[in-house]
Structure 1
Amino acid sequence: MVDVRNNPPKKSNDSNQSNYSSRNLLSGFLFGLGIAAFIDETVFHQLLRWHHFYDKSTTDIGLISDGLFHAFSWFATIGGLFMFADLRRRNALWLARWWGSVLVGAGTFQLYDGTIQHKLMRIHQIRYVKNVLIYDMVWNTLAVLLIIIGILLIVRTRRELKQVKRDNPNEQ
């Protein structure tokens, strides 16, 4: 039985090992991206009503854009969860690597939203107030922290993967 908490799954050959390693990353990234988008849309668009996904038109267009954004977030989340279930079924889930990529996915979405959508494209701001800089700094700093923590987890699991390859030369 494979310990899915911290240890990489042991495969019969090197190509399977790297294939499942990449699937863990992709599954986590999609889930992280989707769940961050879902939280953004639910909290900031619906509950707080700070903005819509697209604020350069009417309220109706803003609501339609929120609906499309919400659908995107759920497709990404569900896609990541289907891959997660497949990894579990194959006994190939590497939870530490998966969580690292969840954090990278969530942070990437948030940093993209805070820099590209808020500042470069200006399709909406995080909040329409006089001093939006404070909101932007908190939003983007949190995004960078998520990415850094996620990358540290992924790097740690990469070291574990190299160690498994060294310890099991006949399985490569």
Structure 2
Amino acid sequence: MANKNKDENIHSNVSNRSVYSNRNLWSGILFGIGLAAFIDETVFHQLLHWHHFYDKSTTDVGLISDGLFHAFSWFATIGGLFMLADLRRRNAFSHMRWWGGKFLGSGGFQLYDGTIQHKLMRIHQIRYVENVVVYDLVWNILAILMMIIGVSLIFRTRRRPHSGKAVSHEHS
């Protein structure tokens, strides 16, 4: 009977580590997406006035699209932070895995923006200048570098057991 309980506990701990590992990753990804979108919105849309989220209509429509885009970035950021708070509460937070997710989410968002929205959908460009290729290259190369850093951090944490014991306070 004692061996059966021990086996169940081992299986439960492995399952919990996997769940918490994935939650760390997704929390970081959501936060990274929200952060990249927030920086894009704040710097390139509002401060520099290089573009709006949707530039194929009037300025008013562009401003409305910016507001919706800003709301999206806010919800992604807050969602990632709620997940982070839960992980910390359970003592299941993995700094490196979360940062890996954050870099992967930020870079993934930026690459999606630079390729799908800028080039395929053509809903806006980074900047409306004669030689936009330079801006596109810098934008997409930075995105790929962020993704490489993220994947590297995630890979390094793939088999590393979490240092703290995951604790659930749901039934306390």
Fold conserved between structures, TM > 0.5: yes
The 1:14–1:159 alpha-carbon spacing in structure 2 relative to 1, beyond 3 Å, is closer
- SS of aligned partner of 1:119: helix
Shift of 1:12: 5.6
What is the correspondence of 1:108-119 to structure 2 with a 5 Å cutoff? 108-119=108-119
SS for the counterpart of 2:158 is helix
For 2:78 and 2:107, how far apart are their aligned partners in 1?
A: 18
Task: Name the CA distance, whole Å, in 2 between partners of 1:159 and 1:21.
Answer: 10
CA deviation after TM superposition for structure 1 residue 161, in Å:
3.7
Look up the match of 1:50.
50
Following superposition, which runs of at least 4 residues in structure 1 exceed 6 angstroms of deviation?
none
**Separation in structure 1 between the aligned mates of residue 159 and residue 140 of structure 2, nearest angstrom:** 29
Counterpart residue number, 2:92: 92
2: distance between equivalents of 1:13 and 1:156? 20
Query: In percent, how many aligned pairs have the same letter?
Result: 76
TM-score normalised by length of structure 1: 0.86
The equivalences for 1:128-143 within 5 A come to 128-143=128-143
For 1:104 and 1:126, locate their aligned partners in 2 and report how far apart those are by CA, in whole Å: 21
State the Cα deviation string for residues 25-55 of structure 1 (Å, max 9, x = none): 0000000000000000000000000000000
Structure 2: tracts of 5 or more residues without a match? 1-10, 163-172
Paired residues in the alignment total 152
TM-score by length of 2: 0.86
CA distance in 2, matches of 1:13, 1:93: 15
Which residue in 1 is equivalent to 2:37?
A: 37
When the two chains are superposed, the root-mean-square deviation of aligned CA atoms in Å is 1.3
- How far is the alpha carbon of 1:160 from its aligned partner? 1.5
Bigger Rg over Cα: 2
1:20 equivalent in structure 2: 20
Q: Distance in 2 between matches of 1:161 and 1:134?
A: 43
Query: Which is worse superposed, 150-159 or 59-68?
Result: 150-159
